[in-house]
Structure 1
Amino acid sequence: MNNKLFYKKNGTGIPLILIHGFTGSHESFETSVRYLRQYFKVITIDMIGHGKSFDKNPNNYTFERSVQLIKDILIELNIKKTNLLGYSLGGRLALHFAINSSILINKLILCSTSPGIKDKSKRRDRQNSDSYLVNILLDQGIGGFVNYWESLSIWEPEKKLSNKIKKTMRKIRLNQNPLGLINSLNSQGQGIQRFLLKNLTKIQNKTLIFAGEKDNKYIKNSYEIQKNIKDSKVQIVPNSGHNLILENPIYIATKTKDFILKE
């Protein structure tokens, strides 16, 4: 990885960084970027362990290092302040970034984001389920893992998507490096991550929080986050489950554009 995250730039103007979720890549935002690049300098990154940002050293997968790697991108592009959107795992990274470096953010957008798990028993359960995913990656490789991953109930709403979108999404998942996903689960999984809710009061940025109307767990998470970030609001996304950026990309893009430019 050469101590850098892979990123791609599209458009000009006000900067907007987009961070994908687990098993995703910068390509996950392709539809949204086609719209957003008309209004912003859009920077899509590959999170560590994903896409073209593979790192074989498991010690390099902490959220703290990922925050620094995004700061390095800002320095490289001479960006003093950026808008930041994160989806799922990318949303949790965006929360870490905002808690650590609120001053570098203009507006914050969170999609299907959790602050972590407070209950110790539920944290252990999540650690066990993530360990199970690691074992599938070790035993069956990326193909077997993707087959299992796509069978999980959280992705049920994806079945209504066009075959073209589903094929693209599956290709992104199959192109992942198994070791990268293992390291990501072991260092950035929800069972390992510290519970962030009490730290969210440090975030002074205007914040928009998206949750799919069919994603009850993350609707609850979104309102928990909203209660702890002073200047924030929740937007429920119609006809959508967890994977908002693929299920309803133009809705997310237009609401994001309006939030940044008009509010």
Structure 2
Amino acid sequence: MKAEVMDIRGIQTYVERHGDEQLPAIVLLHGFTGSTDTWRETIDILLTQHYVITVDLIGHGRTASPTEPERYQMNEQIEDLHQLLADLHIEQPILLGYSMGGRVALGYAATYSDQIAGLILESSSPGLGTEAERTTRCVADAKLAERIENEGIEKFVDFWQEIPLFHSQKKLSDEKQLAVRLERLKQQPLGLANSLRGIGTGSQPSYWDELTHFEFPVLLITGSEDEKFENIAREMKRLLPNALHETIKDAGHAIHVEKPRQFATMIKSYLKTVGK
């Protein structure tokens, strides 16, 4: 594994590269409060047949947390990813994104559709469909951002790990639950707050209308206990020309955390069919 901090459009960005760079590339994008660390078990399975790149997105992990919320906006993060891939000389990668990282992957796919080989979306959404929904969500995200800054990271993590979206993680071992908590506690309050303001679901553009133009293969993965994103994935599949939707039983939102081996093995099998 090669780990380094790269200057990407003025942002000090933490990047890891795993495996043989002669193999087909897959780029992994984590979710909100996550980092490259979230993918450890996924990487171990994928690197036998792929060159795996993971990155701490802006405001997360060991990547810088700028003070301007505008620097976290979707268009900025798309261009950051574009620059990163160019600097690493990676062409036609598969993008794998979880939740927030899936939204970034979708945004990239909509902007640079001819420059990726495929898209894998774990518990991801193309955004909110109406202006009213986006406005309501922006208000909620702004309040949560203020909460993070006012109360600090530990109180926020106490709150965040108890939201319904992550209830299925209560079935994980104490060791695994602690690992997830510690990863969240390593985050910077400024980075998380500005991430909510800049690229929260309410702030990002809606990509629903773009889905019909995605000619490349798309794999949608959801957990059976995450009803909201199961429904979103079904609606996405209806619009995508070349998509497969897989559900992993007894899993919630963060499938790669709850069912890591099943998750990675499913992706590995899917990528073999894409390669053919």
Per the TM superposition, whether the score is higher than 0.5 is yes
**CA distance in 2: counterparts of 1:78 and 1:127, whole angstroms:** 36
**CA distance in 2: counterparts of 1:71 and 1:192, whole angstroms:** 20
**CA distance in 2: counterparts of 1:85 and 1:38, whole angstroms:** 17
The correspondence for 1:100, drawn from 111, 114, 125, is: 111
Contact 2:213 2:241 (8 Å CA) reproduced: no
Matched, 1:6 2:17: no
Aligned to 1:206: 217
Aligned to 1:177: 188
Aligned to 1:139: 150
Residue 210 of structure 1 deviates from its aligned partner by: 0.5
Matched, 1:241 2:227: no
Residue 120 of structure 1 deviates from its aligned partner by: 4.0
Distance 1:76 1:182, change over 3 A: same
1:42-74 deviation digits (Å, cap 9, x = unpaired): 001111111111231322111112111112222
1:88-127 equivalences under 5 Å are: 88-127=99-138
**CA distance in 2: counterparts of 1:156 and 1:218, whole angstroms:** 15
Aligned to 2:36: 26
Q: CA RMSD in A?
A: 1.4
Residue 5 of structure 1 deviates from its aligned partner by: 2.8
Contact 1:54 1:177 (8 Å CA) reproduced: no
Residue 214 of structure 1 deviates from its aligned partner by: 0.5
SS of structure 2 residue aligned to 1:242: coil
Residue 201 of structure 1 deviates from its aligned partner by: 2.0
1:3-61 deviation digits (Å, cap 9, x = unpaired): 35321011111111000000000101111111111111100111111111123132211
Aligned to 2:4: none
Q: Which amino acid aligns with 2:213?
A: K
Residue 197 of structure 1 deviates from its aligned partner by: 0.4
Matched, 1:62 2:73: yes
> When the two structures are superposed, what TM-score results if normalisation uses the length of structure 2?
0.91
> When the two structures are superposed, what TM-score results if normalisation uses the length of structure 1?
0.95
SS of structure 2 residue aligned to 1:50: coil
Aligned to 2:47: 37
Aligned residue pair count: 263
Matched, 1:218 2:226: no
Greater alpha carbon shift after TM alignment, 12-21 vs 56-65:
56-65
1:45-84 equivalences under 5 Å are: 45-56=55-66, 57-84=68-95
| Percent of aligned positions that are identical | 32
User: Can you give the 5+ residue segments of structure 1 that lack an aligned partner in the other structure?
Assistant: none
**CA distance in 2: counterparts of 1:75 and 1:118, whole angstroms:** 32
**CA distance in 1: counterparts of 2:161 and 2:34, whole angstroms:** 13
Aligned to 2:263: 252
SS of structure 1 residue aligned to 2:117: strand
Q: Which amino acid aligns with 2:43?
A: V
**CA distance in 1: counterparts of 2:107 and 2:13, whole angstroms:** 17
